[in-house]
A and B are shown apart, each in its own frame.
Chain A
């Protein structure tokens, strides 16, 4: 028996071997490329491979029938507005809480929500807000000036606040306050805000006075940030003078109370979240009964959920995305509005694509990279190729740090500025790169070794591979590595990154925001920072020792010397353009692309297009479903 089974087994193995390789081959052809990844901020999906199209066009059963708006979200962390720092939590927080102002539909012009109006004193420091009368919290109490003061004190004083800098530090809104010096556990002296010292005063129930330490042209825009949302006075006892009705952890997970158009129903971590209509909302009461988010991270999962009609509004992962299916026109706000389809399930989706106020870039640490190397890399980089090949046209080439939408002086100025891009725009210029490298003494035989650290993302790794291949043989040997987002930031702060990918998103639509990170002195890494300072980009720019550093420093000094919102604007704008020029001269940062945020929704959803501040800013009270 055993003898003849050996004989047969050999033939059997031959057969299985052949069949197994046939299966593997089918995997390559039919595979959807399940390697999509977030790009670190979870705003964009990436991946490669081909989405399979559907020509059969059967009808699918769309929507669940009830009047609930179904959406997809990624992992949420907290429902406490002062603790939230991510857009996933932010988009849910937007539905339940209200700050004094907001960006309607995520557009870049702010709108009053909890206030009727505001008056500003002549010295531009004192703001007097008149609050909407009769606005109610979800627990039935009325919104008064004291609630606002309490909520903002929490932002400034609570140990749970992750955005203290938004209300206290000079690059943001600096409400006048006192600080005292305390010793922390290590015996170091740190400055902390004195409890109840914020210059906020309730004149009466509906009048609030706020005094800033220095004028800020964007104060009202800043107040639209969800961290400034109002909760009932004394609801949580995490600041001095209040015992609190609930613990902060309860507020953050199961009993949030705000004054927004929706109230909290459930949140099951990494599974789902739901809010329901608040009938006593002071503004326009929601049309839908509620909003439901299914929480999922994986591209295939999201795509399946959308294609089977479980989601009303959704995104399409890059792996399944086909730029040829978009049929859209650009409106006067620069948004693309139209249709996308046919989808895999035969439907045609409504399409809304909006260039975001964000910039993804590759930057260098000057202490680890000579100028010639930085310039050579800029020469070989081809923005257009990246956008078409890797991002499937879901983005706009970035030649400057500032996105065109907020360029000082507008779109025309921007276009004439980027005509002078010094590193061969739109082509791979290996010759010029070779020349600069040779001058600096780097050749094929004696190359400069450099490591590029990117997000944990296939797109950025792919971009890195393209760069590596273009640089090979002309004097730079590029290594690639990936790091989780938090690790990337930590190593950047310590000055351990020579060449890295990161992005910047504007929290309000002005060029002002973001340039503080280029002040050369502020880009020095590895030193313990002084209190009140904000991180610069991890450039160690002074190490570059070039004219550009001085130019940037002078420009920043000019910005600081002209803080007046209106009169100082021109001088500041001039300085920002100079900083952009300095970035070019020294090639210290290579902006790659401005994100194009896209939203798709089925025909039965009636929703306004969103704007440049991002889809997560949208409050869904004006959406209706016609199923």
Chain B
């Protein structure tokens, strides 16, 4: 966090210039500087910055959305990114890993070649290129798919780009029992959910493509490694059925090298999806963070950084916890 402060406040980025542009005068500058507290001594700015973060008093944005609190910005931007991240992780998991396992269990068959080759292709297509191609193809879908219009196919969506509608689920009433309020009424719209998924799907495929490829490749290797190991041989010798060998002995052990890959991807997706977000106009957290960083919006950058750090620490703890489930050699007891 100290690094964030140093880079933003002591580097060449200037929030005041970002606010007033080239037409501003000197008086204007000093007025804005004193409003933002930039005239205070640097150490004072630093201590109040750190203290505010530690007490979760995240303050208001300076440049990007002046007048909006960081919490309300998070509330607006985070769901978009999370929805996108959720689907791209899901696609990667549910397409990449089964394909990898299939390839590993049937090595050197046509199916393996096909899957492995696909994995390499998906892995190597850069996101920014794939995103642009996806848009170019889908917006002219009638031409490429024999008259099938992507906009009206299945659920109708207004536009290929833009935020997915996230109001498919809502709480309509609250009941209070003592001090605790619990939601009493819900509504749920299947159509909106479908539209929402359809809207986010192209972006999620693009974002998940790389991890899908790598999960497939690693899954294949992991399965090959376990299937040739001694204990599988032993299990075979015991006369266990193939199904039990695969599910009980191979699958669980093959997941071990995949866990750090998956959790790593999860936070890359949270912070690193700027390009895909922008191309599909989803404009989520990644975009917000990027804008805040280049325009010197210190409270916003600091708070987002802080939250990313918390997330990463949380993910790592979760990852360690997953190990204890998967791998009996790892546990809490000594």
Contact = CB atoms under 8 A, between A and B. Distances in A.
B5 to A, nearest CB: 17
B281 A295 contact: yes
A304 interface: yes
A19 interface: yes
Contacts of A248: 67
Nearest to A514: B23
B67 A269 contact: no
A308 B161 CA distance: 10
Contact of B281 (A250, A301, A528): A301
B287 interface: yes
A85 B139 contact: no
B76 A83 contact: no
Contacts of A80: 67
B31 A534 contact: no
A269 to B, nearest CB: 6
B129 A270 contact: no
A184 B159 CA distance: 52
Interface in A291-332: 294-298, 300-301, 304-305, 307-308, 310
A169 B24 CA distance: 10
Contacts of A19: 117, 121
A169 B163 contact: no
A48 to B, nearest CB: 13
A535 B25 contact: yes
A484 interface: yes
B128 interface: yes
Interface string B281-308: 1010001100100111000000000000
B287 A252 contact: no
A190 B162 contact: no
B105 to A, nearest CB: 13
A285 interface: no
B82 interface: no
B40 interface: yes
Contact of A297 (B29, B39, B129, B283): B283
Most buried by A among B17, B34, B116, B160: B17
Contacts of B60: 249
A29 interface: no
A535 B15 contact: no
Contacts of B28: 162-165
B27 A190 contact: yes
Interface string B154-171: 000011111100000000
B72 to A, nearest CB: 9
Interface string B47-89: 0000000000000100111111000010011001000000000
B21 interface: yes
Contacts, number: 228
B301 to A, nearest CB: 13
B312 interface: no
Given A75-B291, A298-B281, A305-B281, A31 B129 contact: yes
A34 interface: yes
B113 interface: yes
B132 A300 contact: yes
Interface in B1-45: 12-15, 17-32, 34-35, 39-40
A269 B140 CA distance: 29
A534 B158 CA distance: 47
Given A268-B76, A304-B161, A295 B68 contact: no
A186 interface: yes
Nearest to B17: A489
A284 interface: no
Contact of A165 (B24, B139, B288): B24
Nearest to B151: A308
Contacts of A507: 23
A533 interface: yes
B107 interface: yes
Contacts of A160: 35, 66
B143 A56 contact: yes
A32 B22 contact: no
A242 interface: no
Nearest to A33: B132
B131 interface: yes
A271 interface: yes
A504 interface: yes
Contacts of A271: 76, 80, 162-163, 283
Contacts of A345: 140
Contacts of B180: none
Counting chain A residues whose Cβ lies within 8 A of the other chain, the interface size class is 35 or more
Interface in A474-496: 483-487, 489-491, 493
B136 A32 contact: yes
Contact of B12 (A85, A456, A490): A490
B80 to A, nearest CB: 8
A12 B116 contact: yes
Given A252-B67, A531-B30, A2 B228 contact: yes
A162 B17 CA distance: 11
Given A184-B34, A532-B27, A85 B21 contact: yes
A162 B27 CA distance: 10
B255 interface: no
A531 B26 contact: yes
A164 B28 CA distance: 6
Contact of B13 (A27, A487, A528, A530): A487
B316 interface: no
A300 B160 CA distance: 11
A487 B293 CA distance: 11
B278 interface: yes
Contacts of B30: 184, 190, 531
A602 to B, nearest CB: 15
B11 to A, nearest CB: 8
Contacts of B107: 5
A333 interface: no
Contacts of A491: 12
A310 B158 contact: yes
Contacts of A162: 19-20, 24, 28, 32
Interface string B214-253: 0000000000000010000000000000000000000000
A456 B278 CA distance: 16
A333 to B, nearest CB: 25
A272 interface: yes
A298 B278 contact: yes
A624 interface: no
Contacts of A197: none
B283 A534 contact: no
A342 B80 CA distance: 35
User: A-B pairs with the 5 shortest C-beta distances?
Assistant: A249-B67, A486-B18, A529-B26, A490-B14, A270-B283
27 contacts: A75-B64, A85-B19, A86-B21, A162-B32, A165-B23, A169-B27, A184-B30, A249-B66, A249-B67, A268-B163, A269-B73, A272-B163, A294-B162, A297-B278, A298-B279, A298-B281, A304-B160, A345-B140, A485-B17, A486-B13, A486-B295, A490-B14, A529-B26, A531-B26, A534-B26, A535-B25, A535-B26
Given A272-B163, A486-B18, 13 more contacts: A15-B113, A20-B120, A52-B136, A64-B158, A159-B31, A160-B66, A169-B27, A269-B77, A304-B161, A486-B13, A486-B296, A489-B22, A502-B22
Interface of B: 12-15, 17-32, 34-35, 39-40, 60, 63-68, 73, 76-77, 80, 107-108, 113, 116-117, 120-121, 124-125, 128-129, 131-133, 135-136, 139-140, 142-143, 151, 158-163, 228, 278-281, 283, 287-288, 291, 294-296
